[in-house]
Amino acid sequence: MQQLEVINILKKDLNFTDQSIEKLKKFTNLVLKENKNYNLIAKSTEEQIWVRHVLDSAQLVKFIDFRLKSLADIGTGAGFPGLIIEIFNNNKAFHVKLYEKSPVKRKFLISVIKDLDLNAEVLGDVRDEVLDSDIVICRAFKKLDQVIQVSREIAKKPHKLMILKGQNAQKEIENSFKKKKYAYKLEQSMTNKDSKIILMEINK
């Protein structure tokens, strides 16, 4: 799947605007340029950045209620999926928070937010910060049981948890729910038939 195909899906199926598509193009160019100096994304995925990173992140907009106040992306890396969500978002009252422990990646995120005029805030390691958002999302962060632990122990209030996972999603759920079970839904990924999106409600 190439860039034009992905852009068509973003506009037709996920309601991205022409303006947001232009910002996505600028964002991907900035990621690829900076990736020459620092390992923001795996070099092996550079040629598939539009499907492996942009579309994979963008599909979360189907499950997000933008009438809520804020969203936290824990372990955001180069800004996937958090900055993709913010590029889509058109509610100025909805705030995106990006948690990232790497100073190099934080510096990159801050420059992107400034360049693209985005409404997002960059914070450090989630364990050292306040986590008080209505929605918590993550992609390639940690195993599910560790994500749930962070989500339960650090988050200040009940929230929705959305996790992009590969083919082991169901197995990770079974391993994570041995002590305590949570209501969850598994949604099919748009980018890989074996990948899933785990949707959970975490009540304090």
CATH superfamily label, 3-202? Vaccinia Virus protein VP39 (3.40.50.150)
The domain ranges of the chain are: 3-202
Task: Give per-residue pLDDT as tens, 44-95.
Answer: 999 999 999 999 999 999 999 999 999 999 999 999 999 999 999 999 999 9
CA nearest neighbour of 84 among 25, 9, 154, 162: 25
The whole model's pTM is what? Answer: 0.94
Omega of the bond prior to 103 within 30 degrees of 0, cis? Answer: no
Task: Give per-residue pLDDT as tens, 138-164.
Answer: 997 778 888 888 888 888 889 999 999
For 95, the enclosing helix (H) or strand (E) is strand 95-99
Distance, in Å, from the CA atom of 107 to the CA atom of 84, rounded to the nearest integer, reads 17
In this predicted structure, the answer to whether residue 171 has a pLDDT above a threshold of 90 is: no
What are the Cα distances from residue 95, in Å, to 68, 127, 173? 9, 20, 29
